[in-house]
Amino acid sequence: MARWILGALALLSVMTACGGDDVSQDEQALEAAGIPPEPDQATADAFIAALDAINPAIVHRGQDEAGDIEQAIDRGRDQCSTIQANPDDRALQVETTRQRFTSPVAPDGWPPEIAEQILDAVLTHLCPGGEGQ
């Protein structure tokens, strides 16, 4: 699976370097990799609120109240790719969520019970066909 994602990202890099209709080609490459488009503001706000309800440190809130919202959204969008590639493997989805969503208070990832909640927020708010889509 990792090779497939790396291949799609390499294709995206080549397409971007070659010019042309970059936005359309970039979107097509991301879609092929299972990464959804940027969410609209309401969806992004709902996703961040869901993460904050689990633990504000997921979005790196603490010393910096703004946190890293863009990074949290990007990680969620990337997780959609894992979900699409492994739709019937909840354990793998939880493990990759655990590894993907790190923070200063969880540098090695969140415990599985927190990762499950993060995964549910990703499914609900970001992934096409998810619970809230």
Contact residues for 16 (Cβ-Cβ < 8 A; gap 6+): 22, 25, 26
CB atoms within 10 A of CB 71: 13
pLDDT per residue as tens digits for the range 61-102: 665 556 689 999 999 999 999 999 999 999 999 999 999 999
Return phi, psi of residue 13, to 5°. Answer: -65, -45
Residue 128 banded pLDDT, cuts 50, 70, 90? confident
- Whether the pLDDT of residue 106 is over 60: the answer is yes
Cβ burial, residue 32 (10 Å; 0-12/13-18/19+): middle
Domain ranges of the chain: 1-33, 35-133
For residue 132, the model assigns a pLDDT of 44
Spatial contact of 56 and 46, defined as CB atoms under 8 Å apart? no
28 Cα distance to chain centroid: 17
- Whether the pLDDT of residue 46 is over 60: the answer is yes
Q: Name the percent of the chain lying above pLDDT 70.
A: 68
pLDDT per residue as tens digits for the range 15-37: 444 544 555 776 666 666 668 88
Say how far apart CA 133 and CA 127 lie, in whole Å: 8
Whole-model pTM: value is: 0.75
Say how far apart CA 70 and CA 74 lie, in whole Å: 6
